[in-house]
C-alpha cells in the first residue's frame, strides 16, 4: 500500500468515525427557560423539534424575544443547543417582539405561525392600555430548521386588530387560522377564525367569532384576582393559546388559557357540532389551574398523547409535559412525564 493511499484511507476512516458521533451539547429541560413551547415530532428521524422565542437569556434572566429558535430532543428531556429559524429583520413591520411560534407541516412544506408586535400605535379605547399593531404572520420553509421566509411584510390577521396566537386548522380540506383577538383592544378577549388561501399566504374573507373568554364559567377577570398589566389593574378577560384536537370518538375540543379562580389556567371547550365553527360549549372546570398555560398537544413516538404548557405563567417559565387520557368527550391529565 502506497503512502498516499494509506493516508487517504486513514482520513476516510476518521471522517466516518466523526460522522457517527454527535458532538452537540444537550441541556436538561429543567434548566431551560421557554415560553409558549411548541413541539413538532418528526417520525422519520424520531426527533422532537421544540420551538420558542428568544435571542438571550435562554436559561435564567430576562428574555429578549427577537427571534424564533428551535431545540432538538430525542427524549423531551435533553435538548440540544438552540438554533435560530427566523430572526426579525431590521426593516420588518414588527421589530418589537415575536411570540408563540408554531410550525406545521402542510402539503410538503413547513409553515411558521408567529405573533409579532410593532411599536406602531393603534387607536385605543378609553380605559385600555395603549394599543399597538400586533398580529400573526405566516412564514414558509422547506425544512423544520428553516430558514423561514415571509409571504409579505405584514400579518395574515387584520392589520387594525391586536391579534395573537394564530394556529393552523384544516377542516374538510380547507385551511383556516384560529387566533385570539386581544383583551387590550376589546376587553373580553375572543377566539376567531379566518379561512386561508391554499398556499396559506393570505386570508380569504373576514374573520368570524367563535367565542369570548368570559363564556367559560372558570374564567376570572384579571383585575379581580390582582393581576397587573404595565403596573395597572384592568377589567378584562384574557383569551390565549388555542389548540384544537379530535378525541378518539371524533369530538372536537379546544384547549385554551386564561386566568382561573386564582392563577393562570387551561380549560376545555367542546364543539357541539363537531366543526370548528361550533357552537362551543365550555366545560365548567379547568384541567390545569396551577399558574401555567398556552397548551398544545402532540403524539410521542411510543404512542402517548402529551400536552405541553409553560409554567409558571410569568418570570422563569419552564416547559412541562403531561401524558393525557382521552375520555372521548374530554381529556384529563394522567401525570407528568418523568424526568428519567
pLDDT confidence tier of residue 228, bands split at 50, 70 and 90: confident
In this predicted model, what pLDDT tens digit does every residue of 16-40 receive, in sequence order? 333 333 335 889 998 888 989 999 9
The pLDDT of residue 7: 34
- Helix, strand or coil, per DSSP, at residue 177: strand
The pLDDT of residue 290: 93
Place of cell 418528526: 42
318-328: average pLDDT: 96
Residue 314 has pLDDT above 80, yes or no: no
User: What nine digits make up the cell of 43?
Assistant: 417520525
Strand boundaries in 81-239, DSSP class E:
83-87, 97-106, 109-121, 132-141, 149-150, 163-171, 174-181, 190-196, 203-212, 228-229, 232-233
222-237: average pLDDT: 87
> Under CATH, which number does the domain 25-336 receive?
2.115.10.20
pTM score, two decimals? 0.89
Question: Nearest to residue 48, comparing CAs of 17, 72, 24, 18?
Answer: 72
In this predicted model, what pLDDT tens digit does every residue of 37-66 receive, in sequence order? 999 999 999 999 999 985 444 444 445 678
> Which backbone phi and psi does 12 adopt, to 5 degrees?
-65, -45
pLDDT confidence tier of residue 11, bands split at 50, 70 and 90: very low
The pLDDT of residue 126: 87
Higher pLDDT, 11 or 127: 127
Query: What ranges do the domains of the chain cover?
Result: 25-336
In this predicted model, what pLDDT tens digit does every residue of 266-291 receive, in sequence order? 999 999 999 999 999 999 999 999 99
Percent of the chain predicted with pLDDT > 90:
74
The pLDDT of residue 25: 80
Q: Quote the CA–CA distance of 245 and 253 in Å, as a whole number.
A: 5
pLDDT confidence tier of residue 339, bands split at 50, 70 and 90: low
Amino acid at each position: 500500500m502506497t503512502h498516499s493511499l494509506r493516508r487517504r484511507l486513514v482520513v476516510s476512516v476518521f471522517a466516518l468515525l466523526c460522522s457517527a458521533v454527535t458532538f452537540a451539547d444537550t441541556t436538561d429541560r429543567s434548566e431551560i427557560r421557554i415560553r409558549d413551547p411548541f413541539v413538532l415530532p418528526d417520525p422519520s428521524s424520531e426527533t422532537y423539534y421544540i420551538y420558542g422565542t428568544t435571542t438571550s437569556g435562554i436559561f435564567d434572566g430576562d428574555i429578549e424575544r427577537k427571534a424564533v429558535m428551535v431545540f432538538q430532543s430525542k427524549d423531551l428531556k435533553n435538548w440540544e443547543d438552540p438554533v435560530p429559524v427566523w430572526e426579525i429583520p431590521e426593516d420588518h413591520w414588527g421589530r418589537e417582539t415575536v411570540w408563540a411560534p408554531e410550525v406545521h407541516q402542510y402539503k410538503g412544506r413547513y409553515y411558521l405561525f408567529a405573533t409579532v408586535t410593532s411599536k406602531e400605535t393603534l387607536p385605543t379605547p378609553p380605559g385600555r392600555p395603549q394599543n399597538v399593531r400586533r398580529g400573526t404572520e405566516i412564514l414558509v420553509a422547506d425544512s423544520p430548521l428553516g430558514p423561514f421566509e415571509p409571504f409579505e411584510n405584514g400579518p395574515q390577521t387584520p392589520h387594525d386588530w391586536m391579534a395573537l396566537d394564530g394556529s393552523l386548522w384544516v377542516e374538510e380540506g380547507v385551511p383556516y387560522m384560529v387566533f385570539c383577538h386581544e383583551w387590550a383592544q376589546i376587553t373580553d378577549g375572543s377566539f376567531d377564525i379566518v379561512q386561508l388561501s391554499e398556499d396559506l399566504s393570505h386570508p380569504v374573507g373576514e374573520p368570524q367569532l367563535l367565542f369570548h373568554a368570559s363564556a367559560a364559567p372558570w374564567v376570572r377577570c384579571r383585575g379581580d384576582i390582582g393581576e397587573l398589566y404595565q403596573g395597572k389593574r384592568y377589567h378584562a378577560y384574557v383569551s390565549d393559546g388555542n389548540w384544537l384536537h379530535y378525541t378518539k370518538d371524533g369530538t372536537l375540543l379546544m384547549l385554551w388559557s386564561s386566568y382561573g379562580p386564582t392563577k393562570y389556567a387551561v380549560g376545555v371547550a367542546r364543539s357541539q357540532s363537531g366543526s370548528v365553527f361550533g357552537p362551543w360549549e365550555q366545560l365548567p372546570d379547568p384541567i390545569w389551574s396551577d399558574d401555567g398555560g398556552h397548551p398544545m398537544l402532540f403524539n410521542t413516538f411510543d404512542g402517548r398523547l402529551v400536552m405541553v404548557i409553560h409554567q409558571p405563567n410569568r418570570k422563569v417559565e419552564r416547559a412541562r409535559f403531561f401524558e393525557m387520557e382521552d375520555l372521548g368527550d374530554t381529556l384529563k391529565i394522567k401525570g407528568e412525564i418523568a424526568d428519567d
